[in-house]
Each structure stands twice: as C-alpha cells, then as structure tokens.
Amino acid sequence: MPLLPGETRESDRYVSGLSFIDDLGKSVKAAAERTQARIEQGYNELASSLSETSRTASAGTPPFPSRYMGGAGHLVPVPTNWEDPALVPMAIVPAVVSAACAVREHGDPLQAAPGTMLLVAGNVFVFSRRVPVRYWCLLPHMIFSEGEVHRLLTGPLLHRDFSQLITNISMLMCSGLALERRRGWKYVAEVLCLTAAASVVRLGSMLLRELLHCGWSGVSLRRMPIAIYGGLGCSATCFALQVLKEHQPVPNRHRGAWAVELSGQWRPLACWMSFAMRAALGQVTAHGKLQLLQADLEHDLSGLVAGLGYVWIPRLIEGFQETRHVRAWARTMYGSSSFSGRGGGYRLGGGSDARFFFL
C-alpha cells in the first residue's frame, strides 16, 4: 500500500547508535522511582513504630521484654537505670580504668590511633540517636530475603544502654591502641571485616539452633526467635580484636580491667578467660533476663570464632602451601624414587648413607 505524504514505515525510522543512553536513562529513572517509593514506605513504617513506642512507653510497659519477639517498635538505647548498685563498680569504673591505662601506655589516642577514635565516635553518635531495633539489628529474613547485607555492620552499632556502650568502647580502645600503631589504617578495614565475619558466624549459629530445634522441614527465617535487646553492641568485634592482639608476636604490657593478659604459651587463652569473666559478670547483672544473657554470650562467642578464623585460616593455608613447595622441591632435586616415605630422608649423591633432610 503506498504511503501518504509525511508517513514512514517503522523499519525506515532512523535509530541512533547512542540509543543505549536513552535506555540507561530510563532504567535509572525507574530505579530512582522504586528507591523513592521504598524510602517513603520506610518513613511511614518508622513514624508508625515511633508512635506505637510512645504509646507503649506511656502505658508503663517495662523496657526489657521477658520473651523473644520479632523486634517491632522497640527503640535503643533504653533508659539507663542509674539506681542499679552494680552499674558503677562493675561497668563504669573498670571501663574508665582500662581506657585510662591504655591511653597512658600508648599516648594520645588521636595521634596513636585515629581510626580507633573514629570508630568510637561512630558508636557514640549512633547511641545518641534512638533508633528502632528492627531497622538495624541482625534479622535473618531481612538479610537473606530482602538482601539487606548492611545489617552485618549496622547491627553492632546498636547498644542496649550506657553500661554496654562504655564497656565496649573501653575494650575497643584497649585493642585498637595496641593494634593500630603497628597496622596503620589497615586496622580499620580489619575491624570492618571482623565485624561482618562475626555477624555471619552469629547468623550461622542462629540457623543451626533453629535447625536442631525444628529440623529441615520446620526452619523458617521469619519465625526465627530473636532477643530484642540481646546480642547488640560491638562486643563481638572487641573479642575478635582481642584474639588478634593476643596472637601478635610482640606481647602487650597493658593489663585491662576487661581483658585478661597472660604471657608465654598461655597468652592465646587470655581471650577465653575474658569471655568466661564476662559470662560470670553477666550472671550477676542479668537480673533474671536469661534470654538477654544467652544472646549476649552467643554474640561474644561469634566474635571469638571470627577472630580465630581470621588468625588461623591464613596460617593454615600458608603452611599447606609451604609443605607442597617443600615436597615439590624435594622431588625435583632427588626424584620421586629416592623419597623414602614417612620417617625417612633423602640420600645425598644417590647412594650415600648420609641423611640431611627429614619430613
């Protein structure tokens, strides 16, 4: 059919070679619209949770729940009970003494460990803002289903109360002042890696506990029990850093109030003694909140496991590679037929009885 004046066929239209820019712009615009919708939804949920929390607080609900819940509407930090007789002698005084001893030994922390002070400032800033727990904490279904991997780093920034904050800051300063002077800004990257690794280990422990309790058929990430105020704070990172410090070649002379120091071959066991001491003190200050204590100990144990993995996995890989290189070198120099196996050696000159290298 002939075309009328001014008409063109679809196949005759000119397509620019830069059309991919238009497609890219459209995709960016669509992504921006989705992000805006998600931000508006998050803001609405945040406003509703704040109003729900204010109504709960006005009704006289106790700040610590006595059971496991899903984390809706709860804010941290909770008001600190300054009338608690164990707060000053068992939390504030040891933390201040430990930090003061570390500063006295290593000097001005702003010059000796600026990265550590930056991390401390970040924890204090988040503590000054009351935020809903469920938007920051380690929720398995939000990480695996929604892809919110940032919770691996934001969860440890939440602290339950002032005593937990000052205790963790003291441990962070004691380890940071000892490590950052030798490692530089690499230390900050190591802290972030250890924090994420400890969160991953804790996710694995939570999944394993649910698997043992319900079996494969009954596992549900959304129904996995989470202690609202338990397992918060950067104590897992602090324990991982203590493991890293205890495996340093040069021993540290500082003896912190929250960190047990040993010497010689017993030095790597100091982190486990610190963990045992924290567990014993937690039994005294738990005041019947066993769910919180269990979550805190699981959190700290995850940090120990992450620190041990960070220290020993590279050493095991290096040792395995070194063993392979030694065996390859021996076979190259003396041949596979001269290898006498376990407990034997390699003969010099093919027939000499002198042995100089043993496996």
Q: How far is CA 224 from CA 23, 132, 203, 227, 250, in A?
A: 42, 19, 11, 10, 43
Instruction: Calculate what percentage of the chain has a pLDDT beyond 90.
Output: 18
- Quick one: pLDDT band at residue 349, thresholds 50, 70, 90? very low
Burial of 245 (0-12, 13-18, 19+ CB in 10 A): buried
- Given a cut of 60, whether residue 111 has pLDDT beyond it is yes
Contact between 181 and 258 under an 8 Å Cβ cutoff? The reply is no
Whole-model pTM?
A: 0.69
231 near 299, Cβ under 8 Å?
Answer: yes
Q: Which among 333, 299, 260 has a CA at the least distance from the CA of 155? A: 299
Tens of pLDDT, residue by residue over 160-184, are 889 889 999 999 998 898 888 888 8
Average confidence (pLDDT) over 17-32: 73
Annotated domain spans of the chain: 84-315
Report whether pLDDT(237) > 70: yes
Beta carbons of 121 and 193 less than 8 angstroms apart = no
Q: Which CATH number fits domain 84-315: 2.60.120.260, 1.10.1790.20, 3.40.30.10, 1.20.1540.10?
A: 1.20.1540.10
How far is 275 from 10, CA to CA, in rounded Å? 73
**Mean pLDDT, to the nearest integer, of 111-123?**
92
204-215 confidence digits (pLDDT tens): 888 888 788 777
Whether residue 303 has pLDDT greater than 90 = yes
Q: Is the pLDDT of residue 120 over 50?
A: yes
